[in-house]
Amino acid sequence: MARIINELSQAVVTATPFDTDGNPYTPVTARYRVDDCTSETVMVNWTTLTPSTSMQITIPGSVNTIVNDRHRKETKVVTVNTDNGLTTEHNEDYRYDVKNLAFVK
């Protein structure tokens, strides 16, 4: 997901787990976290998801802030972890940029 959203705007990420054959499947467990890649700041720590073949994660605008006002944009990463600790464990990340609107705060 390579997209740009405006600062303090909501973002929606859809995570679809796949098995080793490339087929969608429902994992036993699922969780996600959100980090700011530019500053290495944790924006949302591990949060449990309801396991499904398609999991929609809504990131509120309050998370999509600019950590360092000198940046024109900052990259956020949503990491999705499924089947934590099992032999089927899988990690996937989804990235998007947040555009600094400077005067929105």
User: pTM of the full predicted structure?
Assistant: 0.90
Per-residue pLDDT tens over the stretch 58-70: 999 999 999 988 8
Evaluate if residue 2 carries a pLDDT over 70. no
Evaluate if residue 40 carries a pLDDT over 60. yes
Question: What's the chain's average pLDDT?
Answer: 92
Report d(CA 37, CA 57) in Å as an integer.
Answer: 18
Burial class (CB in 10 A: 0-12, 13-18, 19+), 17: buried
